[in-house]
Structure 1
Amino acid sequence: MRSFLFMLSALAIVGLAFWAYRENYATQQSLREVRDLHDQIGAAHARLTVLNAEWAYLNRPDRLRDLVELNYERLGLLPLTPETFGRLEQVAYPQPDLGPILETVETSSAGEDRP
């Protein structure tokens, strides 16, 4: 009986060692994937920084003004001046569609007699 318990214990230890071996390699693979993802995120941030710098460079007011002047005949663009922009009060906001009135409501003033 004792030898059976020793064999069972030895098999359990071998099984646990095999499981730990597989978990170790799975963990290492996961850590490599995480490291690769961090590298990709860093590269994406660097690309985003470059794209933001290019966007700021291409949207300089003096460059846009020169483009407007160069393409005025073709596109009919107007130069950007403070007078080009309107005030908030000048914006015509669309009125919400209330739909047709289906029911009438009688109203009266408080001091008036009704006929």
Structure 2
Amino acid sequence: MFRTTDIVLIAVMVSAAAFTYKTKHEAENQLAELRKVESQLRLEQETIDLLKADWSVLTQPARLQQLAEIYQEELKLAPVEPQQIATPAELPAPPVEMEASPSKPLGGMADTGADGVVTGSTTQ
């Protein structure tokens, strides 16, 4: 009734169908994961846009001027005078600290002038 080739072909068709189902299922899972990441990305972009808008409102010069006037007593802010701005030449130089030189010889290349490390170079 069934020949060997019929059984082999049926087995090949069943395995091909199983492989196709498995591949389709994995692709759907990957697509769902991609949509989830895209949704999170959109949410983060919207949050960034909202924070940028908040920052621009909070840093408006008119608002900052008004706050500076309201809190003048606590902050004790004053306008910067031209003579308060220093040039780099007017700034004091930081102190230079040097370590004492070692009393024992350094050894190696410092004493002989030749590097003892062998590399793949053809010249010495």
TM range, smaller chain? 0.5 to 0.7
The amino acid of 2:24's aligned partner reads N
Residue 102 of structure 1: SS of its match in structure 2?
coil
TM-score, structure 1 as length reference: 0.66
Contact 1:68 1:78 survives alignment (8 Å): no
Report the Cα distance in structure 2 between the residues aligned to 1:64 and 1:83, rounded to whole angstroms: 22
Q: Does 1:58 align with 2:76?
A: no
The amino acid of 2:17's aligned partner reads A
Deviation of 1:82 (Å): 7.3
Query: CA separation of 1:36/1:14 partners in 2, compared to 1, >3 Å: closer, same or farther?
Result: same
Overall identity of the aligned pairs, in %: 21
* Unaligned ranges ≥5, structure 2: 103-124
Deviation of 1:25 (Å): 1.7
Q: How many residues align?
A: 101
Report the Cα distance in structure 2 between the residues aligned to 1:19 and 1:75, rounded to whole angstroms: 72
- Alignment partner, residue 72 of structure 2: 72
TM-score, structure 2 as length reference: 0.62
Larger relative contact order, structure 1 or 2 (CA cutoff 8 Å, min sep 6): 1
Residue 15 of structure 1: SS of its match in structure 2?
helix
Deviations 1:29-87 (A, max 9, x none): 211221222122122212211210110110111211211221122233335x5749735
Map of 1:1-115 to 2, 5 A cutoff? 3-79=3-79, 83=82, 86-89=85-88, 92=91, 95=94, 98-102=97-101
Alignment root-mean-square deviation, CA: 3.0
The amino acid of 2:101's aligned partner reads L
* Unaligned ranges ≥5, structure 1: 104-115
